Amino acid sequence: MSLPARRKFIPLLATALALAALFTTASLLYPGFCSRLVVANLFADNAALGISAVGMTYVIISGGIDLSVGSVVAATSIVAATLIGRHGWHPVPVIALSLLLGLLFGLGQGLLIQRFELPAFLVTLGGMFFARGLAFAVTPESAGINHPFYDWVQALRLPLGGRAGLPATALLFLAVFVVAAAASHLTSFGRNVYALGGGADSARLMGLPVAATRVAVYGLNGFASALAGVVATFYTGSGNPAMGAGLELDAIAAVVIGGALLTGGVGFVEGTLLGVLIFGTIQSALVFDGRLNSWWLRIAIGLLLLLFILLQKWISGRAGAARAE
Amino acid sequence: MPFFAALLAASTVLWSGCGKSNETPTAAAPPAETSAPAAAAPASAEPKSSLRSFTMGFAQVGAESAWRTAETESIKAEAEKRNVNLKFSDAQGKQENQIKAVRSFIAQGVEAIILAPVVETGWEPVLREAKQAKIPVVLVDRGIKVNDDSLYATLIASDFVAEGKLAAEWLAKKTDGKAVIVELQGTPGAAPAIDRKKGFEEGIKAYPGMKIVASQSGDFRRSGGKEVMEALVKVHPELTAVYAHNDDMALGAIQALEEADKKPGTDVIVVSIDGVKGAFEAMAAGKLNCSVECNPLLGGFAFDAAGMAIKGAPVAKNTVVPDRVFEQSQAAAELPNRKY
């Protein structure tokens, strides 16, 4: 929390402006873009990315990183699809089990990082290979889920008028977002995560539970990844070991565009939501255009990312100068 | 407070901003949402596209091989020829992206959607949405697993099992039924990979002297074929034949075989599927022995079917695109005719 309170919000404001500019431009360029259906789709299509990115926000605020997200999504989806489709389990216990496994996987990574002081980058890189390999070991092929429970959940819609509606997965994403955002501001756990990211040593001196907080952050992110995997099974009605390749990098990009610093201590769950919506808006706009190569998404995200880290650098530089005076 | 300012700014644009910045489309939107999409879309389209008869979406897998690029070109060219406003989306090999693209097409109110599904499962939810919006979906080149086949209008594809069988029969004839075979599989879970494997296995069943000693995925990519072959040639130096699920992997494997001091085409018989230009060049150079053609020029078939489906005319559920077997002796003569 080295930045003066007001400066902290400049990146968030910049992200909101970027989203507004992108959406307005796309609306002016493409007829029918500015509709409730497209806005509802932003939440429905990016629910898995959004949930992963919310979890990633906590990890990044704590000063860590988690590369295992996409692989955990894939492993969760294929384990769930196999248990339901091939072994005839009911989806509810399968989902509960998947979430538990994700939580345990994340806690395991957190323990390794905390107890043995291993770099998070390498531990979660190992986790990424492990979970992806596990997913393909279960079955190399995508597996369909045909279950009345799935049909029922997929048919759920919060109608928004016309053909627009929010499916259950989008509502889940919004719920996760609201809970995570509130927890980051209002709970002592949320404040501990910020303090940990601001500096583990000073947090320890302040008597904060550094070890427990760090392990919990990775545990929560494992849980979020598994939840994203479950959401992905509802989105596609199947599990796929190849799912979510590179999802963690998209999530990290969304978090950073949302105003977080990779060095920890600074970031907003609210900003992450805006970052995810920027992703979705660019992707939708490219499809509406229908002529541009879809790799322009990567180009645009790459440029935005560079722009935002430069902005961050500039702000923290000015903050340093202000303190020196 | 600044949070709320930022969030408010964003949500203003996302929700109420629509009405302000774009009066006309919003005013036109309610009828578009209630009436049939086929009638509504031209009304909300740009003025210049009113000359065009239809708007259609094409959700392509990616551009991972020459074959797929040829398919994309064929569909784009056909759209141009028929004056169809084609929205093209490349999913970069990810199902998530393809589903998003199809949902965006639905939101746009296109008249029909062409989908080249990356995997067999996981299409029910999005196809149900297309059906609800009364937008026919034409599947090209790969089948899908759905319980309700009314979810798509038709499938236009080659018979992959037959292709695998043709490759096996050709190899049996060439080697008198004796071969130590390394198989390079396509992307795990993809219909062509599953069916070409199945067809080939069925084809060699009658020949006890033909054995597959190793079978690994090269992901339909040239680099994948090369990497897998580099490893397998060390593990199975006794191999006499390579069967690749597509030409690109075979071309990669040929490179790996040459680097391992084997002579592909003579020491090791190489047979693959697709019949792309690169394969014909390799056959003319004597390095590839046989390629079973899998015709990617599906554009004509796809637009015929889509046109019928839009009109509500009955469409056959399956259109099998005919395939041919090409050998080295035909390669040089056929090469100039290859479009892809």
At residue B337 the predicted structure's pLDDT band, cuts being 50, 70 and 90, is: confident
Burial degree of A303 (CB within 10 A; 0-12, 13-18, 19+): exposed
pLDDT in tens, B83-138: 999 999 999 889 999 999 999 999 999 999 999 999 888 999 999 999 999 999 99
Selecting from B13, B44, B57 the residue whose C-beta is nearest the C-beta of A31 gives B44
Contact A67, A128 (CB under 8 A): yes
Selecting from A6, A19, A38 the residue whose C-beta is nearest the C-beta of B10 gives A19
Q: How large is the C-alpha radius of gyration of chain A?
A: 20
DSSP B321: P
Residue in the block written with tokens 């597959």: B212
User: Are A290 and B92 inside 8 Å of each other by CB?
Assistant: no
**Smallest CA–CA separation between B85 and chain A, in Å?**
9
- Spell out which residues of chain B touch residue A15, defining contact as CB-CB under 8 Å: 6
Residue in the block written with tokens 């929205």: B87
At residue A147 the predicted structure's pLDDT band, cuts being 50, 70 and 90, is: very high
User: Are A287 and B6 inside 8 Å of each other by CB?
Assistant: no
Across the beta sheet with B269-274, what order do the strands follow?
B210-217, B179-185, B241-244, B269-274, B290-293, B325-327
Q: Return d(Cα A226, Cα B64) in angstroms, integer.
A: 30
DSSP B151: G
Would B51-157+296-321 and B160-294 be classified into the same CATH topology? yes
Residue in the block written with tokens 């979660």: A124
Q: What is the pLDDT of residue A324?
A: 59
Contact A142, B122 (CB under 8 A): yes
At residue A222 the predicted structure's pLDDT band, cuts being 50, 70 and 90, is: very high
Q: Which residue of B has its CA nearest to A14?
A: B6
Selecting from B5, B22, B122 the residue whose C-beta is nearest the C-beta of A240 gives B122
Residue A56 lies in a domain: yes
- Spell out which residues of chain B touch residue A32, defining contact as CB-CB under 8 Å: 25, 29, 32, 44, 107-109
User: Are B147 and A140 inside 8 Å of each other by CB?
Assistant: no
Burial degree of B266 (CB within 10 A; 0-12, 13-18, 19+): exposed
| Of the listed ranges A38-47, A248-257, B167-176, B320-329, the one predicted with least confidence | B320-329
Q: What is the pLDDT of residue B63?
A: 86
Does residue B19 have a pLDDT over 60? Answer: no
Sign of CA dihedral A224, A227, A233, A236: negative
At residue B11 the predicted structure's pLDDT band, cuts being 50, 70 and 90, is: low
Domain range for residue A279?
5-320
Give φ, ψ of A213 to 5 degrees.
-65, -45
Helix (H, G, I), strand (E, B), or coil: what is residue A134? helix
Q: What is the pLDDT of residue B323?
A: 84
Does residue A19 have a pLDDT over 70? Answer: yes
Q: Return d(Cα A171, Cα A158) in angstroms, integer.
A: 8
Q: What is the pLDDT of residue B187?
A: 87
Q: Which residue of A has its CA nearest to B9?
A: A16
User: Are B121 and A143 inside 8 Å of each other by CB?
Assistant: yes
Q: What is the pLDDT of residue B111?
A: 95
Among A8, A17, A22, A34, most B C-beta atoms within 10 A, so best to mutate, is A34
**Smallest CA–CA separation between A247 and chain B, in Å?**
11
Q: What is the pLDDT of residue B15?
A: 53
pLDDT in tens, A68-112: 999 999 999 999 999 999 999 999 999 999 999 999 999 999 999
- Spell out which residues of chain B touch residue A39, defining contact as CB-CB under 8 Å: 14-15, 18
Does residue A1 have a pLDDT over 80? Answer: no
Strand partners, B241: B181, B269
Percent of chain A with pLDDT over 70: 96
DSSP B61-128: ----SHHHHHHHHHHHHHHHHTTEEEEEEE-TT-HHHHHHHHHHHHHHT-SEEEE--SSSSS-HHHHH
Does residue A55 have a pLDDT over 80? Answer: yes
Contact A102, A43 (CB under 8 A): no
**Smallest CA–CA separation between B147 and chain A, in Å?**
9
User: Are A277 and B14 inside 8 Å of each other by CB?
Assistant: yes
Calculate helix-pair angle for A210-236, B124-132, nearest 10 degrees: 50
User: Are A294 and B119 inside 8 Å of each other by CB?
Assistant: no
Contact A59, A221 (CB under 8 A): yes
Q: Return d(Cα B184, Cα B215) in angstroms, integer.
A: 6
**Smallest CA–CA separation between A108 and chain B, in Å?**
28
Q: What is the pLDDT of residue B190?
A: 79
Q: What is the pLDDT of residue B145?
A: 87
Which superfamily, per CATH, for B160-294? Response regulator (3.40.50.2300)
Of B200, B189, B190, residue with least CA distance to B161: B200
Q: How many CA atoms lie within 13 A of B203 on its CB side?
A: 23
Does residue B22 have a pLDDT over 90? Answer: no
Selecting from B7, B101, B125 the residue whose C-beta is nearest the C-beta of A287 gives B101
Strand partners, A157: A167
Instruction: Tell me the domain boundaries of chain B.
Output: 51-157+296-321, 160-294
User: Are A32 and B91 inside 8 Å of each other by CB?
Assistant: no
Does residue A190 have a pLDDT over 90? Answer: yes
- Spell out which residues of chain A touch residue B9, defining contact as CB-CB under 8 Å: 13, 16-17, 20
Q: Whole-prediction pTM value? A: 0.80
Q: Which residue of B has its CA nearest to A15?
A: B6
CATH of the domain at A224: 1.10.3470
Residue A325 lies in a domain: no
- Spell out which residues of chain B touch residue A84, defining contact as CB-CB under 8 Å: none
Helix (H, G, I), strand (E, B), or coil: what is residue A265? coil
DSSP B268: B
- Spell out which residues of chain A touch residue B12, defining contact as CB-CB under 8 Å: 20
Give φ, ψ of B160 to 5 degrees.
-65, -35
Work out how many domains chain A is built from and give that number. Answer: 1
Q: Please name the residues in contact with B8: beta carbons below 8 A apart, sequence gap of 6 or more.
A: none
Stretch A37-60: mean pLDDT, rounded? 96
A150-187 in b/e form (b: 16+ CB < 10 A) is beeebeeeeeeeebbbbbbbbbbbbebbeebbebbeee
Q: What is the pLDDT of residue A4?
A: 57
Among B4, B34, B104, most A C-beta atoms within 10 A, so best to mutate, is B104
**Smallest CA–CA separation between B104 and chain A, in Å?**
6
pLDDT in tens, B201-260: 999 999 999 999 999 999 999 999 999 999 999 999 999 999 999 999 999 999 999 999
Does residue A244 have a pLDDT over 60? Answer: yes
- In CATH terms, the fold of domain B51-157+296-321 is Rossmann fold (3.40.50)
Contact A270, A167 (CB under 8 A): no
User: Are A13 and B188 inside 8 Å of each other by CB?
Assistant: no
Q: What is the pLDDT of residue A224?
A: 98
Average pLDDT, rounded, for chain A: 93
User: Are A32 and B108 inside 8 Å of each other by CB?
Assistant: yes
Q: How far is CA B35 from the centre of its chain?
A: 33
Selecting from B9, B57, B103 the residue whose C-beta is nearest the C-beta of A45 gives B103
Higher pLDDT, B64 or B109: B109
Of B25, B127, B125, B68, residue with least CA distance to A288: B25
User: Are B88 and A291 inside 8 Å of each other by CB?
Assistant: yes
Highest mean pLDDT among A160-164, B3-7, B258-262: B258-262
Q: Which residue of B has its CA nearest to A229?
A: B96
Average pLDDT, rounded, for chain B: 85
User: Are A242 and B188 inside 8 Å of each other by CB?
Assistant: yes
Q: Return d(Cα A156, Cα A177) in angstroms, integer.
A: 20
